[in-house]
Copies of this chain bind each other. A is one copy, B any other.
């Protein structure tokens, strides 16, 4: 059981943080200032969220002069996709098993 989904779920659970990640996905690379402008929270708050996103592998940062550009790293979402399809898969398996059982009872 991979521990990866843990960090991803926790990181994406916060609305402000998820909004930042969404913006980076939609609009591409952004500076901290640009992100702060429409985030509704202070710049230090944004920096902390970006730190969390970075630690989860969801964003990359690139320093250019005195500003830092952040960009989404959507490959990091893969463990999330894996986990979700795994859960759906377990369910499907049990459904198939039930189906088999019914068929065997039927004959």
A21 surroundings in chain B (CB, below 8 A): 87
Partner-binding segment picked from A7-15, A31-39, A44-52, A99-107: A7-15
A84 to B87, CA, bound (A): 15
A80-B84, A87-B21, A88-B74 are contacts. A15–B26 as well, Cβ < 8 Å? no
- Work out how many copies of this chain go into the complex: 2
**A92 → B minimal CB distance (Å):** 8
Main secondary structure of the interface of A (DSSP, over half): helix
A9-B12, A12-B9 are contacts. A74–B87 as well, Cβ < 8 Å? yes
**A17 → B minimal CB distance (Å):** 10
A10 to B28, CA, bound (A): 25
A84 surroundings in chain B (CB, below 8 A): 77, 80-81, 84
B87 touches A77 (CB 8 A): yes
Answer whether residue A96 sits at the interface, using C-beta atoms and an 8 A cutoff: no
| Between-chain CB contacts (< 8 Å), 8 pairs | A6-B15, A9-B12, A10-B13, A12-B13, A13-B13, A22-B87, A72-B87, A77-B87
